């Protein structure tokens, strides 16, 4: 679209008249020879930015404009954005103004103006000292940004948050006076050019969030001795951290995180004695923490998270008396938590999770520090009772014991408390009721006894409560369900009736394996996931459990698993050589009991009790010897049949044909699936009822899920209509809960490795169930997790193209694909491959959603859809380290309830990729 030239001319005339007539000159002269002041005035009008100003003579006092004494404009800062939508920028052009008319311009700030192209005429502004074009949509058009090289007076150049790609132009070497250079959040690629060595006046340099690669060679910045802030994070830099970094002795902040740097931290970093913050997160740095870091006495923030750093925490760090944040999590740190940590009086945030730290928690560490994460280590002893003003405490997955100190309740800012998977004993102190800010409370898998204190009712913000697998008894406090969304009280010894759930927001409720009695409250149907199994006195069909010692669930499940594994192992040995058949069918629950039965049919070896009796012959009968009519699908490792048993129960059978079952890799996957599914039990993971090894065939027996795969449901026009936004969001949430459980609550963690929409099955309520564990892998922390590539094209994480190291982050990627596919209605392959391109990022979310169903309108749906899309995009990050963990994802779903503060139709993919609406993984 072009605005007619006549329009411009008339505008020019209109505004040229005023000053000229004042000066008494004839009108004809005006048009042919405007004074440069008039040209400036015209340019301002043309921009459309000041359309609410009517007196052009008064322009030097318009907002954002400064003039010199002669009335020529020297400064333009953030013109009013009022008219921004109708401006030329919207039409995909830069502003119409030719900036070369502003001969005296010194300061130009056009940040956040929605510019699509570099402003015209910039390169003539030879007095310009300050240029801010950040937060626009600039691209690397030919000639720009190298045209900026003419601005040799420039002191400040900020072109961050644009879509500028290509090499950093060599012409920048002309900008020798530059003090501040911000190129961050663009698409610059290639290596850092040598030119920076000429910019010896630089104080601030930010190249973060680009696609820069190559080594950080010393020559690049050896001359930058005035540098105070250096940010090279979120690129693809590789190689060692050069020792010469120690020459930049004026540095105050240094950020090298999220790159591919290797090798040790050079001890020369200790020369940077003015440093206040040092970030080395998410690289592959190894070696130990150099004691020279103790020389950085001004340091306030030190983060080395997600590396391979070993050794112990050096005692020299005791000198870092200004330290506020220390994050060494997910490394290989050994030794104990030093006692002197408590002497760092400024320290407010310490994260040591995911290391090999042993010994006791120092007795005064919880006094001053408010955010403490010591989870997944080898700590022993108990929680110190000297507790100050904690806001976050995670000591889960350690070997801690003893009681939960009553003092914890006096820490009234506490919002997250995680004590899971330790050996805590005693009862839950009633002081817990004082923690009125609490959002998430988890104490599962301990040996906690007594009753749940009624004071827990006071926790009005509590969203998630997991007290599962303890020895709790008594009744469930009646006010418990008021605000919770996630409740897991399974495997305790709770009694009494279930308080009414009506009007409550519970969406995940597990009270299984207790001694609850009475009626099921009416509101239960509004609960998305609930499990009440094995409460023998509850009215309804919840008697289904073996009469075992329920107080022992944790140990029990482990030993049962051991038993099953022995059986699987023995099958491995005997299979093929002896022609006997083995059928193993187990009850639907964690507590299984081996019943050695005299086999009814000669070919049954043993049977796990399952809803009465079931035998190989029953299955043959039910499927008319695996007639094709009963076949409901064919997967990678066999065909799936639907069978109705004599008892009326419908099951699904995954059968491997004999030829397949003799193939060692199929056979391995069969055993893998049994091994994995035997161990896990989760509402969103398919239940394995049993398996059968028989000389005629081998098969797995599953629960039958009526609605088949998510893939088929999305592909079918009618079923896709039925999958409205809230159902789709629930499917994604359910999948995330299943994966979070496998990754973070199973020891060792389980990686599925083949998450696709075909492997997510739906039950009649359209809840998701993750299935097909034939390729799953137990992440053995003691050996490397190298393996051949498996998975499905289009869902496999990109790093598996060049590494064979399987991590949970591979599943996170596949989950991202599945989530997008569910929202878009089709496989997002093309969309993903174009994600780094600005054209894709400029897309609006509403335009990528499945168009077969109406756009979301309910507030809850809007919130959820935007959250799902944000999380999915984060999961698709090509750097596995910057993907959120599945636990982050699940927690974000559980915690999401913030009111809408965006206009849905204006939300772009770009905003979601930058998490401008939801910031994920808050903790």
Ligand X SMILES: *[C@@H]1O[C@H](CO)[C@@H](O)[C@H](O)[C@H]1NC(C)=O
Binding positions for ligand X, rule: CB under 6 A:
55, 57-58, 111-112, 123, 132, 134-135, 147, 150, 156, 158, 160, 180, 182, 184-185, 197-198, 200, 206, 208-209, 219, 222-223, 229, 231, 244, 246-247, 253, 255, 268, 339-340, 343
CB-nearer residue toward ligand X: 313 or 550: 313
User: Minimal distance in Å, beta carbon 302 to ligand X?
Assistant: 15
**How many residues belong to the chain?**
923
Task: List, as residue ranges, the binding site.
Answer: 654
Q: Positive or negative CA dihedral for 535, 538, 544, 546?
A: positive
Longest distance between any two alpha carbons in the chain, whole Å? 118
Q: What is the C-alpha to C-alpha distance for residues 324 and 309, in angstroms, rounded to an integer?
A: 21
Nearer to ligand X (CB atom), residue 79 or residue 553? 79
- Between the two ends of the chain, the Cα-to-Cα distance in Å is 48
Q: How far is the CB of 8 from ligand X (least distance, A)?
A: 23
Q: Based on CB atoms, which residue is closest to ligand X, 223 or 412? A: 223
Nearer to ligand X, 162 or 411 (CB): 162
Dihedral angle of Cα 239, 244, 248, 251, to the nearest 10 degrees: 40
In the block, residue with structure tokens 């969309």: 831
Nearer to ligand X, 128 or 568 (CB): 128
Neighbour count for residue 222 (Cβ, 10 Å): 16
Distance CA(684)–CA(695), nearest Å, equals 33
The contacts of residue 511 (CB under 8 Å, 6+ apart) are 476, 487, 489, 490, 494, 498, 530, 531, 532, 535
CA dihedral 319, 324, 329, 331 (to 10 degrees): -30
Rounded Cα gap, residues 917 and 67, in angstroms: 38
By the 10 Å C-beta count (0-12 exposed, 13-18 middle, 19+ buried), 430 is classed as: middle
User: Phi first, then psi: what are they for 312, rounded to 5°?
Assistant: -105, 175
| Residues 479, 726: Cα–Cα separation, whole Å | 27
Give the integer Cα–Cα distance in Å for 917 and 900.
Answer: 9
Measured CA to CA, the distance from residue 828 to residue 794 in angstroms comes to 9
Q: Is 393 exposed, middle or buried (0-12, 13-18, 19+ CB in 10 A)?
A: buried
Given the complex with ligand X, which of 86 and 126 has the nearer CB atom?
A: 126
Cβ at position 224, least distance to ligand X in Å = 9
55/781 with CB nearer ligand X: 55
Q: Give the residue numbers of the binding site for ATP.
A: 654
CB of 135 to ligand X, least distance (A): 5
Decide whether 243 or 549 has the Cβ nearer to ligand X.
Answer: 243
For residue 558, what is the enclosing H or E element? helix 553-574
Report, in Å, the least distance between residue 276 CB and ligand X: 11
Task: Give the side-chain half-sphere CA count within 13 A for 255.
Answer: 18
Instruction: Specify the residue, 284 or 914, whose C-beta has the smaller distance to ligand X.
Output: 914
What's the min distance (Å) between Cβ of 144 and ligand X? 9
Q: Angle at Cα 361 formed by Cα 360 and Cα 362, nearest 5°? A: 105
Q: Among 816, 799, 815, 818, which Cα is nearest to 807's?
A: 799
Supply the minimum distance, in Å, between the C-beta of residue 146 and ligand X. 7
> Between 57 and 851, whose beta carbon lies closer to ligand X?
57
Q: At what angle do helices 886-895 and 808-824 cross, to 10 degrees?
A: 50
Give residue for tokens 């009862």: 427
Whether the bond between 748 and the residue before it is cis, its omega within 30 degrees of 0, is yes
CB of 342 to ligand X, least distance (A): 7
The packing angle between helices 808-824 and 859-875, to 10°, is 140
Between CA 709 and CA 706 the distance in angstroms is 9
Q: What residues act catalytically?
A: 754
For residues 684 and 770, is the Cβ–Cβ distance under 8 A? yes
User: Does an H or E element contain 6, and which?
Assistant: helix 5-22
State which residue, 202 or 309, has the beta carbon closest to ligand X: 202
What is the C-alpha radius of gyration for the chain, rounded to an integer number of angstroms? 33
Least separation, in Å, of the C-beta of 266 and ligand X?
10
Cβ burial of 209 (10 Å; 0-12, 13-18, 19+) is buried
| Integer Cα distance of 52 and 69 in angstroms | 25
Question: Residue 853: beta bridge partners?
Answer: none
Name the minimum Å distance from CB 23 to ligand X: 14
Closest CA to 753 of 802, 806, 679: 806
């Amino acid at each position: 679209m072009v605005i007619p030239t006549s329009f411009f001319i008339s505008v020019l005339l209109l505004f040229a008249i005023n000053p000229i007539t004042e000066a008494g000159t004839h009108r004809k002269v005006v048009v042919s020879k405007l004074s440069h002041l008039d040209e400036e005035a015209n340019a301002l009008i043309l921009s459309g930015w000041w359309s609410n100003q009517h007196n052009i003579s008064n322009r030097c006092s318009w907002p954002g404009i400064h003039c010199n004494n002669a009335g020529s404009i020297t400064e333009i800062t953030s013109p009013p954005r009022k008219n921004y939508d109708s401006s030329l920028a919207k039409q995909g052009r830069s502003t119409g103004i030719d900036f070369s008319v502003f001969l005296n311009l010194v300061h130009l700030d056009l940040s956040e103006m929605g510019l699509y192209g570099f402003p015209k005429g910039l390169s003539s502004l030879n007095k310009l000292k300050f240029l801010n074009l950040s937060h626009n949509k600039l691209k690397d058009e030919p000639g720009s940004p190298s045209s900026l090289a003419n601005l040799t007076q420039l002191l400040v150049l900020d072109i961050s948050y644009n879509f500028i790609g290509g090499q950093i132009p060599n012409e920048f070497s002309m900008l020798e006076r530059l003090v501040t250079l911000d190129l961050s959040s663009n698409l610059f690629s290639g290596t850092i050019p040598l030119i920076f060595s000429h910019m010896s006046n630089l104080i601030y340099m930010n190249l973060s969030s680009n696609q820069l690669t190559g080594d950080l060679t010393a020559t690049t910045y050896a001359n930058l001795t005035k540098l105070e802030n250096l940010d090279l994070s979120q690129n693809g830099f590789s190689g060692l951290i050069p020792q010469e970094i120690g020459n930049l002795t004026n540095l105050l902040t240094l950020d090298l995180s999220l790159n591919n740097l290797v090798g040790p931290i050079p001890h020369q970093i200790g020369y940077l004695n003015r440093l206040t913050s040092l970030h080395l997160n998410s690289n592959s740095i190894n070696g130990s923490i150099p004691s020279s870091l103790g020389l950085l006495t001004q340091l306030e923030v030190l983060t080395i998270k997600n590396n391979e750093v070993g050794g112990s925490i050096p005692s020299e760090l005791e000198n870092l008396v200004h330290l506020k944040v220390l994050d060494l999590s997910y490394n290989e740190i050994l030794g104990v938590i030093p006692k002197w940590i408590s002497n760092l009086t400024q320290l407010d945030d310490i994260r040591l999770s995911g290391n090999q730290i042993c010994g006791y928690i120092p007795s005064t560490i919880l006094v001053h520090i408010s955010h403490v994460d010591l989870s997944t280590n080898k700590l022993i002893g108990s929680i110190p009772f000297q507790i100050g003003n904690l806001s976050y405490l995670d000591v889960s997955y350690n070997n801690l014991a003893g009681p939960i100190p009553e003092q914890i309740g006096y820490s009234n800012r506490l919002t997250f408390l995680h004590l899971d998977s330790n050996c805590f004993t005693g009862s839950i102190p009633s002081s817990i009721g004082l923690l009125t800010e609490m959002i998430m409370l988890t104490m599962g898998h301990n040996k906690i006894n007594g009753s749940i204190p009624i004071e827990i009712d006071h926790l009005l913000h509590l969203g998630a409560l997991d007290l599962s697998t303890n020895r709790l008894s008594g009744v469930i406090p009646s006010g418990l369900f008021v605000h919770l969304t996630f409740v897991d009280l399974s495997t305790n010894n709770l009694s009494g009736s279930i308080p009414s759930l009506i009007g409550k927001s519970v969406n995940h409720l597990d009270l299984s394996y207790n001694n609850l009695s009475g009626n099921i409250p009416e509101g239960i149907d509004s609960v998305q996931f609930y499990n009440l199994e094995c409460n023998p006195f509850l009215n309804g069909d919840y008697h289904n459990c073996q009469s075992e010692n329920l107080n022992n669930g944790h140990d029990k499940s482990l030993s049962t698993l051991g038993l099953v594994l022995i059986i699987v192992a023995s099958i491995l040995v005997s299979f093929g050589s002896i022609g006997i058949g083995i059928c193993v069918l187990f009850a639907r629950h964690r507590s299984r009991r081996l019943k050695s039965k005299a086999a009814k049919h000669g070919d049954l070896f043993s049977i796990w009790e399952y809803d009465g009796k079931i035998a190989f012959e029953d299955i043959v009968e039910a499927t008319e010897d695996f007639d094709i009519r009963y076949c409901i699908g064919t997967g990678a490792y066999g065909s799936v049949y639907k069978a109705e048993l004599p008892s009326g129960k419908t099951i699904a059978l995954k059968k491997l044909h004999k030829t397949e079952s003799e193939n060692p890799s199929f056979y391995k996957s069969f055993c893998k699936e049994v091994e994995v599914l035997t161990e896990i039990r989760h509402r969103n993971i398919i239940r394995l009822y049993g398996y059968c090894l028989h000389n005629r065939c081998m098969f797995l027996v599953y629960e039958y899920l009526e609605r088949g795969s998510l893939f088929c449901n999305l592909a079918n026009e009618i079923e896709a209509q039925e999958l409205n936004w809230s159902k789709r969001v629930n499917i994604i949430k359910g999948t995330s809960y299943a994966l979070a459980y496998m990754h973070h609550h199973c020891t060792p963690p389980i990686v599925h490795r083949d998450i696709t929409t075909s492997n997510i099955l739906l039950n009649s309520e359209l809840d998701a169930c993750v299935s097909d564990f034939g390729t799953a892998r137990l992440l053995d922390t003691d050996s490397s997790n190298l393996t051949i590539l498996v998975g499905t094209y289009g869902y496999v994480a990109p790093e598996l193209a060049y590494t064979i190291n399987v991590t949970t982050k591979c599943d996170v990627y596949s989950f991202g694909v599945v989530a997008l596919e569910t929202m878009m209605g089709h496989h997002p392959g093309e969309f993903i491959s174009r994600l780094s391109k600005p054209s894709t990022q400029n897309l609006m979310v509403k335009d990528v959603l499945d168009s077969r169903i109406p756009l979301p309108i309910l507030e809850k749906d809007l919130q959820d859809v935007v959250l799902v899309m944000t999380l999915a995009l984060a999961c698709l990050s090509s750097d596995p380290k910057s993907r959120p963990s599945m636990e982050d994802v699940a927690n974000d779903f559980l915690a999401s309830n913030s009111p809408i503060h965006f206009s849905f139709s204006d939300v772009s993919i770009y905003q979601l990729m930058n998490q401008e609406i939801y910031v994920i993984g808050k903790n």
